[in-house]
Structure 1
Amino acid sequence: MIVMSGQVWVSLISLGGVVLGGMLSYLVQHRTQRSAERAERQRQQIALSETRRAERLALLERFIEVSAEAERCAYTRPSDWEDTDTWYLTTRDVMYRFWVADRLIRIQFPPPVHDAAHAHFLDLNRTVWEGLPDGESVRDYLEGNRSAFLDAARAVMG
């Protein structure tokens, strides 16, 4: 059997320490990198979520704003009107914007919110263009679906 000198043993132990240290260093760096990547993904997810929430809030604001304009058109609806009347021209533009806002709600929100928004849109559309029977209040007619929409939107937005 060959007897190893003390220097060889020291060299082998030293080499083993270097290998072990390198492996531990690699594992620590690998875990640190994975942790940093996971934190970055989470940060990006939070930023995206906040951006989407802001977009949804802007859409809700737009829908509610145009809805209020359409209600004003319903309140000021003359009994007789022509395609050239100022009321008709203004109302046509408002109802077009309201139609677009309704479709955007459909794209950005789950079906229960859109269904409630669309029911409110249909109520207002009917009230604006066809009117209501004598004695029926615009406010009372619109209140049910307007409230249902607002409640559905609040539930989704948290």
Structure 2
Amino acid sequence: MAADLWTSVVSLAGVALGGGLTALAQRATQRSVERVEERRRAAATTESRRAEQIEVLKEFVTCAQAAERAAYRRPDPWGDDEDGWITQTGPVMTALWTASGNVTLLCDEALREPVRTYGHALNAAVWRDIGDVEVNEHLEEAKTAFMNAARASLAGA
């Protein structure tokens, strides 16, 4: 009888130990799966944000190029097409300022000043607040600073 009791106790202890080890293994596996899933979600979020940043940067560059084209097309004051040019250029500049706001909102803080500076340089070129300086010469420094900052921002993302 004592042997039967001892066998039962050992069996019960074996079952309890096995159950405990199984529970520990399941918990460790679950935690590992949760960590992997969290890393996957973080990577997906990072990639999604980077794609969004690329899109707003592309939009800004497109709008900047349209503003630059408008600056080159500007007629002489009191020229034949000045009214038509102003009508066409207003929406171009509105799109530029909207795109610059998107960059400021969605991209790295380091892009705020280069975007603002480049936008103001484009605005001055479009409205000919640049004196006798050529459009490309006036824009070169601000454009290069923006492009370098955008490139660095994307490389760090």
TM-score (norm 1): 0.92
Once the 2 structures are TM-superposed, how far is the Cα of residue 130 of structure 1 from its aligned partner?
Answer: 3.2
Contact kept? 1:59, 1:104, Cα under 8 Å: yes
In the alignment, which of 33, 37, 53 is matched to residue 56 of structure 1?
53
Contact kept? 2:111, 2:150, Cα under 8 Å: yes
Flag structure 1 segments of 5+ consecutive residues without an equivalent. Answer: none
Correspondence for 1:103: 101
Matched, 1:40 2:51: no
Structure 2 matches for 1:8-19, cutoff 5 A?
Answer: 8-19=5-16
Structure 2 matches for 1:1-158, cutoff 5 A?
Answer: 5-80=2-77, 85-134=83-132, 136-158=133-155
Flag structure 2 segments of 5+ consecutive residues without an equivalent. Answer: none
Q: Give the counterpart letter for 2:67 in structure 1.
A: A
**Relative contact order (alpha carbons < 8 A, sep ≥ 6): 1 or 2 greater?**
2
Contact kept? 2:71, 2:128, Cα under 8 Å: no
Q: Give the counterpart letter for 1:140 in structure 2.
A: E
Q: Distance in 1 between matches of 2:56 and 2:140?
A: 20
Once the 2 structures are TM-superposed, how far is the Cα of residue 80 of structure 1 from its aligned partner?
Answer: 1.7
Q: Give the counterpart letter for 1:102 in structure 2.
A: S
Q: Can you list the C-alpha shifts for 1:62-100, whole angstroms capped at 9, x where unaligned?
A: 000000000000001112259982211111000000000
Misfit runs of 4+, over 3 Å: 81-84
TM-score (norm 2): 0.93
What count of residue pairs does the alignment treat as equivalent?
Answer: 154
